[in-house]
Amino acid sequence: MKIIEVIPFVLNEDLEKEFFFSQWEYSNRKISIVKIICDNGLVGWGEAYGPAPVVKESINYIKKNIIGLNPLESDLIWSILFRRVHDYGRSGVFVSAISAIDVALWDIKGKYHKLPISTLLGGSFREKIRPYATGLYFSDSKTLTKDLCEEAVGYVNDGFKSIKMKVGLNIEDDVKNVKEVRDAIGFDVELMIDANHAYSYDEALKLSKKLENMEIKWFEEPISPEFYDQYSDFKAKTSIPVAAGECEYLRYGFQKLLDKNCIDFLQMDICSCGGLTEAKRISSLSSTKGVKIIPHTWGSGIAFFTAINFISNLEPIPGRLYQDDAYIEYDRTENKIRENIIKNDIVMKDGYISVNIKPGLGIDVDETYLNKIKI
């Protein structure tokens, strides 16, 4: 079996309603995916997290290096691709491009062996995964706090047991919004906050102190990802657990986060950190520090099922008879691409999503829809 074609796409859908967070606003979604075709007819799908048009061209740049290779040899292919961009692409879009290709190769491997990716990774430690609702973004509404509370209550009514909301407007408004949302949903529902690295060290620490009695499960990206020493100091001075990693790349970047004791929850994005091959390596590093992994998950249904398969295989830390829940991020903002690019439904029952038991990623891509929205 040999790879004969690698085809990247950019998918584009305008949003019906804009929303924003601490860094910028969204008016549409662009997502880069890749299709790998083998000489025996097997097809694999992957996705990249990053600026879609740039990622597409990065895939086009490196894809010639794997034509004719055996897709089952994913470690070898990963190494070939990484060496090709090593001098100038140890993070960023080239690693995202490698990630998309790597995920597609694992999809092919699963289909070839007629096994889910989680089995090929070493087996599933669980039968179900707990999704947390990512939402509560900002808008220009004059009743923003009220809107956030109503949105949060809606997620609770939908069956979510955990909710993540955005912070990063300013400390005063963040405190008001978080406290009102907490009051609206009560303390039986987990609440996380995400600043998208909007704050300085002093600001993040001030905000965390004001929210320490709100039972926040984690404070995500309180400060900029470059400042490892600040993360370490911040973690030592707040009682709120710290989460980060979506802006980090490769095991080498995550080793810095872990060695400097920066985080309580590690949040690599599988579709940008180096793919499933590298995510597995990062999970081994994380296990040596006793740090739990809850991947950042964004984009289409391809990325979502990539995360489902990976999380299924995450070793419980610590191991015990009755495990803690494993979590998956479930973005609740408008996402027509996620809902339509795959024919599979994402089904939540009693607050959980079942693991994948189908070959590969376990998805069926709707190529009619793909061809309709590609640019």
Q: How far apart are CA 257 and CA 268, in angstroms?
A: 11
Tell me if the pTM is above 0.95.
yes
Mean pLDDT of 90-106: 98
Residues 305-347: pLDDT tens digits? 999 999 999 999 998 999 999 999 999 999 999 999 999 999 9
d(CA 136, CA 157): 15
Tell me the percentage of the chain whose pLDDT exceeds 70: 100
73-91 exposure pattern, b = at least 16 Cβ within 10 A, e = fewer: ebeebbeebbebbeeebeb
List the catalytic residue out of 86, 113, 197, 296: 296
Using CA atoms in the order 221, 224, 230, 235, what is the torsion angle rounded to 10 degrees? Answer: 0
The amino acid at 197: H
Res. 80 pLDDT band, cuts 50 70 90: very high
The span from the CA of 373 to the CA of 28, in Å, is 12
Report residue 301 CA to chain centroid gap: 12
Q: Write down all domains in the chain, each with its CATH number in brackets.
A: 3-114 (3.30.390.10), 119-354 (3.20.20.120)
Active site residue 113: no
Residue 24 has pLDDT above 90, yes or no: no
Q: Are 36 and 13 in contact (CB under 8 A)?
A: no
Residue 172, judged by CB atoms within 10 A of its CB (0-12, 13-18, 19+), counts as: exposed
Residue bearing tokens 């584009």: 12
CA distances from 181 to 12, 214, 327, 349 (A): 33, 10, 21, 24
Burial of 296 (0-12, 13-18, 19+ CB in 10 A): buried
Could you report the per-residue pLDDT of 221-260, keeping only the tens digit for each? Answer: 999 999 999 999 999 999 999 999 999 999 999 999 999 9
Residue-averaged pLDDT of the chain = 97
Q: Is the pLDDT of residue 205 over 90?
A: yes
* Per-residue 3-state assignment (H helix, E strand, C coil) for the chain: CCEEEEEEEEEEEEEEEEEECCCCEEEEEEEEEEEEEECCCCEEEEEECCCHHHHHHHHHHHHHHCCCCCCCCHHHHHHHHHHHHCCCCCCCHHHHHHHHHHHHHHHHHHHHHCCEHHHHHCCCCCCEEEEEEECCCECCCCCHHHHHHHHHHHHHHHCCCEEEEECCCCHHHHHHHHHHHHHHHCCCCEEEEECCCCCCHHHHHHHHHHHHHHCEEEEECCCCCCCHHHHHHHHHHCCCCEEECCCCCHHHHHHHHHHCCCCCEECCCCCCCCHHHHHHHHHHHHHHHCCEECCCCCCCHHHHHHHHHHHHCCCCCCCCCCCCCCEEEEECCCCHHHHHHECCCCCEECCEEECCCCCECCCCECHHHHHHHEC
> To the nearest whole percent, how much of the chain has pLDDT over 90?
97
Q: Answer yes or no: are the C-beta atoms of 169 and 22 closer than 8 Å.
A: yes
